[in-house]
Each structure stands twice: as structure tokens, then as C-alpha cells.
Structure 1
Amino acid sequence: MKKKYQALMMIDEAHSIGVLGATGGGIGEHFAVDRDDVELWSGTMSKALAGCGGYVAGSAALIRYLKYTTPGFVYSVGMTPMNAAASLAAIRQMRAEPEALDRLRRNSRLFLQLATDAGIDTKDTEDTPVIPCIVGDSLRTLALSKALLRRGINVNPILYPAVPEDLARLRFFVTSCHTEDQIRSTVAALAEELATLVAAA
């Protein structure tokens, strides 16, 4: 489609950088995308890259154009050296410890399988450690988040208008540092609290 209509393409790596691909290189690496076929690559440094803020990457000419014409750049400040250093260190660690990606993928598959077995709606989640639990109601999603927090499980509710009301959800971020016991107990607690909410509705 891009080539047919001579369009520019931007790929958002916010949930894939540091996660997908053989070395955590993201969607581009996972699907072997020719980097030259995509004009802009964007993502966040606040997840797998252990920093803050985001990035947009592309050709020098295109990035220079954006810097001088995009309103968000005019009065914003650049990334702090500390955040840049933290994200650079995260990238270096990913490259030095590929086994961490293997652990992450095992943990993600385990969480997803347990959630699926428990009848939890995760939509079409696959190959990612960002796993939703679709509740479909903002108030009940918030109540579920609070119930889990009381049990020592911190999970963020994603509510309307960030998502449509019928897709209100909890968003779980599985990491390579989670243990199998933590994953199993979390999914069990989620299933219990969700059943309690449904029964009370």
C-alpha cells in the first residue's frame, strides 16, 4: 500500500523495542523489515529501555525537517543525559545478555497460557509481554485494579477515553525478572477477583 500510493510510513515500536526480534530490536527485526522501506521509527524509552521519554528516528534530512517544523519540538527540551545514558545501558545489556529475552518470552507465554486457560479475555495477544485483561467497563476495571493492589499486585487500568468503553482493561507487563510462582499466583488472583466482580454485577 505504501509503495502503491507513494506514502510515508511510520512504525511505532513502543511495545516491541527490547521485546520482539532475536536481539530485542523490535518489530523491524522480528519481521525482517528493510529499514530503508520505513521513513520513521518511533518508540518509548520508558519501558524496556529503562529511561523516560520517546524517540523518532529516520533519515537525517527528515529528522532535521521535523525538528524545525513540528510544533512539539519548538518549546520542548531535549532528552536529559541521564535518560539517554540509562537507555543506552539498557540496549547494551540486552545485547550482552540475550538469555534475558529468552526468559522474558517464556514468562510471557506462561502468563498468556494461564490466562487463556482461566478464561480471561486477552483479545488477540501473541508474542508480547504486554498482556491485557479485557474487562469492558471502566468502573469495574478500576475496582479490579484496586482489588489486585490489595493483594500486592500492581497493574495499571486502561480506561475510557484511552480505549473504547467496551475495551477497558488491565494491562500486565511481564518481565524477565518475574518468577514462575509470581506469574501463577498473579493469574490465579486475577481470575478470582474477576469472578467476584462478575458475580456481583
Structure 2
Amino acid sequence: MQSEQFAAAAGISAELASRWLEPVTEAMERFSIIHPMDQAMFIAQTAHESEGFTTLTESFDYTPQALEQLFPAYFTPQQATALGRTAEQPAQQPQIAERLYGQRLGNLSPMEGWIYRGRGLIQVTGRDNYCRCASGIDLPLLSHPDLLASDTPAALSAAWYFASQGCLACSGDLEKVTEIINGGSNGLADRAVRLQTALTALQQV
């Protein structure tokens, strides 16, 4: 795959394509994402999850209103007001992450919800997932979680997750792959457009 083809497949600029071509193609090769449909699906899903290959770390920059609307089980109105972004204060992102992920996903010690927040092209989240990913890509992620916010590990972690969680077994099934990656159908319409864009680009000779 050439840089121009990857840029078209991912719907990104030439500059971003030049940056990401090698990490993504090497990650796909390492985890046997080799058929055009699977490569198109991988590129589409990672492009959606990373906002077009621009975001590698989960943000918790929420307003109080967003916290209440998105996470009503985790924030009372008082907590949302105390932690959310307002004109008077920035969002208290470590505290927000801890409320969302603390004592879940293998996070047990204080602030592990923040330490093991989502990172990578398909955001790995939680101590348990960092541990599994560390074994899958052979990097010390538990002690150095920020590695997943750099390009090559970010791509490797996404390809590892894509392959190890069964996405290759449901090749072409957008809804099923999205459910595996996202846990539901969030952003399905955008993923569908991105998949068709990627397929069209990869089928070009």
C-alpha cells in the first residue's frame, strides 16, 4: 500500500498518511490482517475511534451537563458540578476517570482509572486490558502505559485487539465488528461510510 492509497482509504491528509502508513501496515501484517475487506474494516474502525488518526488518549474534558447526560449512574448533579468544566474551572479529568473506571476493568489501586485510561488507535482501557495487551505486543504497558499514546504501539495495540477479539472471524460484518470494538453500535453510520471509503481505495489498482 502506498501513502496516497492509505490517505484515500483512511480519509486523512497526506501528512497524516505519511506519519501512519508504516505503523499501520506493519501492525496489520504482524497480526495477519491481510485480506482487503479486513484491512478496510481495520482502517475504518481505527479512523473512527481515533478521530481520523489524530487522537490517541481518551479525554475527560466534560462539562457538568455532559457528565449528567452521558454518565448518570456515576455522577450526581453535585458531583458533575464539582468535577466538570465550567467558565470558572477546568474539568477535573483524573477524578472523572477514576469515577468512571475505578474498581472496574481490573483497576483496584487509587487513580488506576486515570492511569489506565483509554489509549491507542482502538483505545485499550483498564488495567486488565493493558496487561493482556502488554503480553500481546510485548511491551511493558503496566509500568509505561503512555507507550500506547505513541504511534507504533498505538497501531500494534489496535491490530492485536482486532485480531485477538475475533474481528477477523466476522469479516465484513460491520455491526458485529463494531460491537466487538465499541461494545454497542455507537457511530455506526460514520463507520459504514469510512468502510466504504476504505474499500473503494483499497480496490483501486
Whether TM exceeds 0.5 here: the answer is no
Q: Answer 1 or 2: higher relative contact order, Cα 8 Å, separation at least 6.
A: 2
Q: Compare CA radii of gyration and give the structure with the larger one.
A: 1
Q: Which structure has more helix as a fraction of its residues? A: 2
* Shorter-normalised TM range: under 0.3
Q: Which structure has more strand as a fraction of its residues? A: 1
TM-score, normalised via structure 1 length: 0.24
TM-score, normalised via structure 2 length: 0.24
